[in-house]
Amino acid sequence: MKNSRVPVLALILAGGRVDELSVLTFFRPKAAVPFGGLYRVIDFPVSNLMHSGIWLVGVLSQYRPYSLMNHLDYGLPWDMCGRKRGIFILPPFKGREASDWYKGTADAVYQNLEFIKRWAPEVVLILSGDHIYSMDYRPLLAFHRDNKADLTIAFTPVAFEEAHRFGQGIIEEKTLLGGPLKDYQEKVSPAVSPYASLTIYAFRPEVLEEVLKANAREESHEFGRDIIPKMLGSYRLFGFIFRGYWGYTRTLEEYWQSHMDILGPSPKIDLKRWKICTNLAHRNVRDRKPTVVSSGARICDSLFYNGSYIAGEVVRSVIFPGVKIESGAVVRDSILFYDTVVKRGACLERTITDTEVLIGEGAKIGGEEGLTVIGRSTEIPEGVSLAGGVTVYPHLTKERFTATSYPAGSVIS
C-alpha cells in the first residue's frame, strides 16, 4: 500500500570513494570524510535539506557504508525521524533485475525506483553528497514548478579556465535565476560555458523513471555523461543559477582549500551562520572536556573545538577535537583530525592527518611542494623529515620508517 503523495523526495549520491583523496578514503566513503573541525562532508547537503523543510531522504551508499550509516543515525541529529520523515540508507542489492553494485549515478537511482514509487513524490531532488555549500532548495524547486520543467539542473559560475572539469550548461538567462537549458556538455575542453553543474537535479518523477529505464539498456549509466545530453530537445530542461559559495572537494588540494576558506580575515564559509548540524555523539564530541590552551601557546587565525590541548604554535589551521599540540611544536596551514598528537618540537606545514596520528618529537612534516597526507593511526618517528607531497599509509608503526628523510612525492606504505 502506497503512502500518500509527498511534495519532495531527496536522494543523496554518497556511495563512492575517490583516489584523489588518497588515504582519507581508505576506510570511509568521500561523503563521510571529516570536515571543518566537527562535521562530515555529507552534513552540508543534509543540513541544507533540513533548513529547506525537506524531511524525506534516501542516501545511496555502497563503498564502506558503515561509518556513514553510523553517522546519519536514521536522521535523528537533523530531526528527520517520524511520520513521512527519515533518512534511509539505500545500498546496492541483488534482485531479479538489479545488479549487486551501482554501475553509475543513474544506475544507483534506477535500482531504487521502487523506493521512489513508494512515496509518490511530486519532485525528486537528486544531490551530490560531497560538496561544501549552503543552499535553500526552495527557490530552485519553485523555479522548477513555475517553469513546468521535466528537469531543472543547478549551476554555479566558475572561472572559464576551470570549467572543463565540470559538466557545463549553456543557459538562456531570462531572469537572474536562470532559464531554459540550451545545451549541456560533460567535462569538455575547451569549455563551452562558465556555468558548472552542481550535480543538483530536480526531476519530474515520471520523466525520471522514463529516462532511467531507457538508460538501463545502455553500457554507461551517468546522469551528466549519458542521460542529460539525450534529454535535450525532447524534454523541458532548465538551468537554475546558484551564486553562493560552493566548495568542490574532489581532490586533496580542493579539500584543503575549502578548509582554508573557513579561516579569516574574510572567511568564505561561515559555519555558524550556515547552521550546519552534525552527529555530536561521533567520537564522543559532546562529552569531551573544554580545550586547554597553555599560557605559552600561540594561536593565529585557526579553528579548534573541545577536548584538545594546545601548548605550541598554531597558524591558519583547523584542529579537530582531542588533538594535542605540545610545547615547541608548530602547526601551519594544516588540518588535524581527531586525537592527533604532535610532540614537542615537531613542525607541520600544509599537512593533513587522519585520526589518531602521532607525530614524533622534532619531526618535520610537509612543505610547499604539495600537501602531505598521513593515514589514520600511523606513528611518525622522532626526527623524521617528510617533504611536501608525501603520502603515508594508515596503521604504520615507527619501525616502518627506514629512512630519516623522504623527498616530495614519496609514498610510504
Q: Does 235 share its domain with 327? A: no
Q: What is the mean pLDDT of residues 294-311?
A: 96
Question: Residue 17: its pLDDT value, please?
Answer: 60
Q: Which of 365, 306, 370 is nearest to 339 (CA)?
A: 306
Based on the fold, state whether residues 231 and 289 are members of the same structural domain. Answer: no
The pLDDT tens digits of the residues spanning 341-353 come to: 999 999 999 999 9
Q: What is the pLDDT of residue 101?
A: 67
Tell me the residue range of the domain where 12 lies: 8-260
Residue 66 resides in a domain = yes
Average pLDDT over residues 56-70: 85
243-280 pLDDT per residue, tens: 999 998 889 999 999 999 999 889 999 999 999 999 99
Q: Are residues 56 and 94 in the same domain?
A: yes
Q: How confident is the model over 91-96, as a mean pLDDT?
A: 62
| Any domain includes 269 | no
What percent of the chain has pLDDT above 90?
82
Determine the average pLDDT of the residues in 356-368.
97
pLDDT surpasses 90 at 87: yes
Clarify whether residues 289 and 362 are in a common domain. Answer: yes
Q: Which of 82-86, 108-112, 220-224, 359-363 has the lowest mean pLDDT?
A: 82-86
CATH of the domain at 189: 3.90.550.10
pLDDT at residue 20 in the model: 82
Number of domains in the chain: 2
pLDDT in tens, 176-222: 999 999 999 999 999 999 999 999 999 999 999 999 999 999 889 99
Same domain, yes or no: 237 and 340 = no
CA atoms within 13 Å, Cβ hemisphere of 2: 11
**Same domain, yes or no: 295 and 361:** yes
**Would you say residue 277 lies in a domain?**
no
Give per-residue pLDDT as tens, 181-193: 999 999 999 999 9
Clarify whether residues 125 and 186 are in a common domain.
Answer: yes
